[in-house]
Amino acid sequence: MFDALKIAATGLTASSVQLGVVASNLANIDTTVTPGGGPYRREMVLLQSLPAYASGLDRGVGQGVAVAAIVGDPSPFPLVYDPTNPAANAKGYVAYPNVHLATEMVDMIAASRSYQADATAFQAAQSLDVKALTLSA
């Protein structure tokens, strides 16, 4: 009865993590030196579907989504010639983070829409559960 609530809740959690990672990427869009050395590396959220039940009434029904990992984007860092910058290498180039504003905005909009859809699904499932409980009383 409450599976729809649990499934929508997993989507809300995943979207929330995605929004947090986008915020971190945007906050570090100009960070050329990190404590680990080098520029900030863009992070990405990898999601995985939770396995479906193998038996019972809910056999084959998915159970939502989970954050599998948060990984660094392997794309190269853009190099900008700026020999006056303290972070410049011997040739005068500064490595900047591989964070692109347009990409982050698209990711933010997608995660925000996903969050809104999951919130709507959660509210609808909650309303149906309340109605089902009042019918049986």
Averaged pLDDT, 59-68: 81
The C-alpha torsion from 35 through 36 and 38 to 44, rounded to 10°, is: -100
| pLDDT of the residue at 2 | 60
Instruction: Express each pLDDT in 4-63 by its tens digit.
Output: 888 899 999 999 999 999 999 999 999 999 998 899 999 999 999 988 766 666 665 678
Confidence of residue 106 (pLDDT cuts 50, 70, 90): very high
pTM of the model: 0.85
Angle at 106 between CA 100 and CA 112, to 5 degrees: 130
| pLDDT of the residue at 56 | 61
Instruction: Express each pLDDT in 32-48 by its tens digit.
Output: 999 988 999 999 999 99
Angle of helix 3-27 versus helix 101-136 axis, rounded to 10: 160
Q: Write down the domain spans for the chain.
A: 3-136
